[in-house]
Chains A and B, each alone.
Chain A
Amino acid sequence: MTEADIIPTICNLLGPYNPEHKPLNADTDIPAELNIDSVGVLDFIMEVEDHFDIEIPMNVVSETRTVGDLARYVATQKNRV
């Protein structure tokens, strides 16, 4: 599974957090551009965890601002042996 495979899924999962339907891509800064508050970001991350059946500790969340950052982390977790 590559980052490119994961990005469209993350963008879909962001749907409920993007009421203004802003265009989303790998460079989208999730909290800043979508104006999601801190709790909202954590709720969204739970959706990503459950969709991919992986663990994304809260400690990682502050380092993953963009869709691309998050896709990279998901890919790393999914591709772990």
Chain B
Amino acid sequence: MVDLLEKHRGIADRFQRMLDMGVNALGVTNDQMISPTRAIVGNREIILAGTNNYMGITFEPSVIAAGQKALAEFGTGTTGSRIANGSFAMHKELEKSLAKFLGLKHCIVFTTGYQANLGMLSGLAGPKDTIYLDADSHSSIYDGCTLSGAKLVRFRHNDAADLDKRMARDDNTEGGKLVVLEGIYSMLGDRAPLADFVALKKKHDFQLLVDDAHSFGVLGPHGRGLGDEAGLEDGVDFVIGTFSKSVGAIGGFGAGNHPLFETLRYAMRPYMFTASSSPASIATSLAALEVLAKEPERRQRLWDNSKRLFDGFRALGLETGTDVVSPVVAVKMPDELTTIAKWNALFEAGVYVNMAVPPGTPNRLCLLRCSVSAAHTPEEIDRIITIFKDVVAA
């Protein structure tokens, strides 16, 4: 008998090597959440600098109250998919509210951000089509592309000229073409040069999708994402986003203006064959969206904090993932063992960041990845910088 799990022996050995060096960096347990930026782990208070809680909205009283009300009035769950069980009114209200926020005609919500990528990509593209995806795309994009059955062509990260070259090689005249970008790339924190890609639409016939998972609420004068920041929303055909970062809940969405957009509900298996979002998740997402729209100063605080951390790290001589200020501030490490050791030392000193190692990172980089929150105080940002100075830059 071939043991099915034996193929994962290498992963088990690698994981054990990490455990032998200290804490399980991939499975920290927050025993108590004190605020969006503080948790109790064991008996210690930790500054959270790796939770993607960009807007710091998870403890907002109005959002919590909305979730509690929905729990009381609509119950704990929907117990099935919207196709089978029907929708709750608040699902449709959230879709309408999101479409308005985005300035788009249509929006479909999903149970998670991962499922939004699986659903949208597999709904938009099929076996006769071609998807061109950035090499640094998130795993959910890779998985959604695979599920679509489309021909998949990978282009070099943020390189529109490389995409141009690869599109010129294509001899598929039968199917459609979809180009997939991300607003902010999750590991290094850099953004897609949207204007370069939109310009290519004049030369090649394709539709453009932007995954704004890390940029929804964060980029642009209205917080709509990369298209909003670049002033090129008309050049983006489809937008994907998540509720698990700036919105502080769980869920995801796809949106666009295409007249057949609503048909996707009946073509996306990850939408059709899974239970819909729980009432509390929908209600908190709706309430959080209202806060994001009413309080643009949160976005300004996020950027002020991001610049403070970025400048602080650069002053220490640390090599960051990108040369521009971003809410994702990743520090490059020389190798995996050093990364694990430094992560443990940071954690011991009182700050939680993400340990990111290959193959989850581009170019086999090892990273200590920070994500900044609008809820971080300047003192917390300075404390993070001081701890990095003592632990990483020393």
Seen from chain A, the residues whose Cβ lies within 8 Å of a Cβ on chain B are 37-40, 42-43, 45-46, 49, 53-55, 57-59
Contact indicator A43/B153 (Cβ below 8 Å): no
In the complex with contacts A39-B362, A55-B169, A46-B135 CB distance below 8 A: yes
| B253 CB, nearest partner CB in chain A, Å | 26
**Is B128 an interface residue, CB under 8 A from the partner?**
no
Partner of A40, one of B152, B154, B169, B364: B364
Binary contact track B127-161/A, C-beta < 8 Å → 1, others 0:
00010000100000000010000011110100000
Q: How many A-B residue pairs have CB under 8 A?
A: 37
Contact indicator A37/B156 (Cβ below 8 Å): no
Interface of B is mostly: mixed
**Is B27 an interface residue, CB under 8 A from the partner?**
no
Contact indicator B152/A43 (Cβ below 8 Å): no
In the complex with contacts A37-B358, A37-B359, A42-B169 CB distance below 8 A: no
| A8 CB, nearest partner CB in chain B, Å | 23
Kindly state the interface size class of chain B when it binds its partner: 10 to 19
In the complex with contacts A55-B166, A55-B169, A55-B170, A39-B153 CB distance below 8 A: no
Listed A/B pairs (8) with beta-carbon separation below 8 Å: A37-B358, A42-B135, A49-B166, A49-B169, A53-B169, A55-B166, A57-B130, A58-B154
Contact indicator B154/A42 (Cβ below 8 Å): yes
How far, in whole Å, are A38 and B151 apart by their CA atoms in the complex?
A: 18
Seen from chain B, the residues whose Cβ lies within 8 Å of a Cβ on chain A are 130, 135, 145, 151-154, 156, 166, 169-170, 358-359, 362-364
Contact indicator A59/B152 (Cβ below 8 Å): yes
Contact indicator B358/A46 (Cβ below 8 Å): no
Contact indicator A39/B152 (Cβ below 8 Å): no
| A58 CB, nearest partner CB in chain B, Å | 4
How far, in whole Å, are A59 and B150 apart by their CA atoms in the complex?
A: 8
How far, in whole Å, are A40 and B145 apart by their CA atoms in the complex?
A: 18
Chain A contacts for B135, CB-based, 8 A:
42-43, 46
Partner of A39, one of B145, B151, B359: B359
In the complex with contacts A58-B153, A59-B151, A39-B358 CB distance below 8 A: yes
Contact indicator B358/A57 (Cβ below 8 Å): no
* Minimal Cβ-Cβ distance residue in A for B10: A35
How far, in whole Å, are A54 and B168 apart by their CA atoms in the complex?
A: 10
Additional A-B contact list (4), CB under 8 Å, known A46-B156, A58-B153: A38-B359, A39-B362, A46-B154, A57-B153
How far, in whole Å, are A56 and B70 apart by their CA atoms in the complex?
A: 50
| A55 CB, nearest partner CB in chain B, Å | 5
In the complex with contacts A46-B135, A59-B151, A54-B359 CB distance below 8 A: no
Chain B contacts for A53, CB-based, 8 A:
169
Chain B contacts for A59, CB-based, 8 A:
151-152
Chain B contacts for A54, CB-based, 8 A:
169
* Minimal Cβ-Cβ distance residue in B for A62: B146
Chain B contacts for A43, CB-based, 8 A:
135, 363
Chain A contacts for B152, CB-based, 8 A:
57-59
Chain B contacts for A55, CB-based, 8 A:
153, 166, 169-170
How far, in whole Å, are A43 and B359 apart by their CA atoms in the complex?
A: 12
